[in-house]
Chain A
Amino acid sequence: MNFADGEFELKEIQKLEGHTDRVWSVAWKPATGINGVPAVFASCSGDKTVRIWEQDSTGSFHCQAVLDETHTRTVRSCAWSPTGKFLATASFDATTAVWENVGVDFECVSTLEGHDNEVKSVSWNKEGSLLATCGRDKSVWIWEVLPGNEFDCVSVLQGHTQDVKMVQWNPSMDALFSCSYDNTIKVWVEDGDSDDWHCIQTLGESNSDDLTIKIWSDIDKSQDWHKNAPWKHVCTLSGYHDRTIFSIHWSREGIIASGAADNAICLFVENNDNEVDGPTYKLLLKKEKAHEMDVNCVQWNSGDRRLLASASDDGTVKIWELVRLSGQKL
């Protein structure tokens, strides 16, 4: 896909209201929005609930379900298992709930306890066999998914010296990334068969609220990267947001979306005119006043339309579509 020619617009498709407090995160249900399956996503909020939204035949989203009476504090993050069968929700109440989606119903089938205080993020690995959570207690927990909706903690990773704000599994292998208030990102892998997880690399040591976006790559693939530290910093994008950047997401075509406390959403694409070694990125567009307050989360749908969902302190979720200014379909 060539983004170098022509001009693009992030068109607002819909504004979804319903939550009664700020919306922290959104997550698209896998394999929806494609092959005739209506797009579905979950949103979670300071109002202690999670809402499930589904697109109907006219293209409008409506709220299909409200998952309430489970978390007793803010729900900070949510993540679908790779098949979309389960939704995990992480809360400031120190628990992570796992919901099973059967048809249009959602039932809480498990509650993972263990963190000392607020859980901030949850992520499933590619196979859906492992779940990771992290929180203010500085630890990262890895849980194994067992038959009968049982979840067993297999490891508690200590290493960060302050709150762990987010965890994310590598999409192609079982390497876990965690990022922390201590200004570092750690990469964790399993030790052969010993069920022992350890940190193979620590990235960062610069201020984590420095208003920049950094891109890292494991370019040198010749090494067995379970043994060596492969991640190198290749690019910094700065000057695009003037307040804290809360969220960043790569579309399957490589468009990077960012959401920040300046109420804006930026889109970046790879810059192919550059002579410099290694990838560089350039701004495709900046959507100022995307929301009336901070943008907390941006997430691309991986279906056939270039849909982006954004969550904000203003209590709304917005659905956007990336289109050409001339109105032509991309």
Chain B
Amino acid sequence: MVSGLINANPVVYEKKERRVRGATAVLDEYAAEPIDQLEIFDHIRDIKDPEHPYSLEELKVITEDAVEVDDERSYARVTFTPTVEHCSMATVIGLCLRVKLMRSLPSRYKVDIRVAPGTHATEAAVNKQLNDKERVAAALENPNLVDMVDECLAPSYA
């Protein structure tokens, strides 16, 4: 077990300026607005990295462009870039993304999470684990892991 942080000196980027949504005349109060890229990004941008007191957005682990969404098909895909190629926190970050979206999006949504191609040494293995529903369900029954995930998600509920 390696002691110390995987990546002790991450590069920290400036947060993107948040766009305020324009107020539009809503004729039908009950009409659901289609979920778009920005809305999904807003759910995940403030998730804290497991090792550092910075958000995934600040570390450029995720960007708005890395979110793909098709509301009509109830589908979304988030591609994240771990800060280092052999980051062992990749599965934890992926799990955090999945849990946050599971709690924030309507249950009709199908979500795929993947690491950006070429950015991780065991990309196929990480992707496979993150998209294996049975493995994810079992992991979320592990109280230690759930605590870790909840801690990372706390800042994103504001």
Residues of A within 8 A of B (CB): 22, 46, 73-74, 76, 92, 117-118, 120, 136, 163, 165, 181, 209, 243-244, 261-262, 292-294, 314
Contact = CB atoms under 8 A, between A and B. Distances in A.
A181 B107 CA distance: 26
Contacts of A22: 137
Nearest to B107: A293
Contact of B138 (A74, A244, A262): A74
B110 interface: yes
Contacts of A181: 128, 132
Given A181-B132, A294-B133, A136 B108 contact: no
5 contacts: A74-B137, A120-B134, A181-B132, A293-B108, A314-B107
Give me the 8 closest cross-chain CB pairs, A-B, nearest first: A118-B138, A73-B141, A92-B138, A92-B141, A293-B107, A243-B110, A74-B137, A74-B141
Contact of A46 (B107, B110, B131, B137): B137
A244 B128 CA distance: 12
Nearest to A246: B133
Nearest to B129: A181
Interface in B125-158: 128, 131-135, 137-138, 141
Contacts of A117: 138
A76 B134 CA distance: 9
Contacts of A46: 137
A37 to B, nearest CB: 34
Contacts of A293: 107-108
A261 B134 contact: no
Contact of A136 (B107, B110, B133, B138): B138
Interface of B: 107-108, 110, 128, 131-135, 137-138, 141
Given A163-B135, A181-B128, 16 more contacts: A22-B137, A73-B141, A74-B137, A74-B138, A76-B134, A92-B137, A117-B138, A120-B134, A165-B134, A181-B132, A209-B128, A209-B131, A243-B110, A261-B133, A292-B108, A293-B107
Nearest to A73: B141
Contacts of A92: 137-138, 141
Given A73-B141, A92-B141, A292 B107 contact: yes
Contacts of B128: 181, 209
Contacts of A136: 135, 138
Contacts of B107: 292-293, 314
B133 A244 contact: yes
Contacts of B137: 22, 46, 74, 92
A261 B137 CA distance: 15
A294 B102 CA distance: 14
B44 to A, nearest CB: 21
Nearest to A92: B138
Nearest to A22: B137
A261 B141 contact: no
A193 to B, nearest CB: 37
A45 to B, nearest CB: 11
A120 B135 CA distance: 10
A22 B135 CA distance: 14
A74 B142 CA distance: 12
Contacts of B134: 76, 120, 165
A165 B133 CA distance: 12
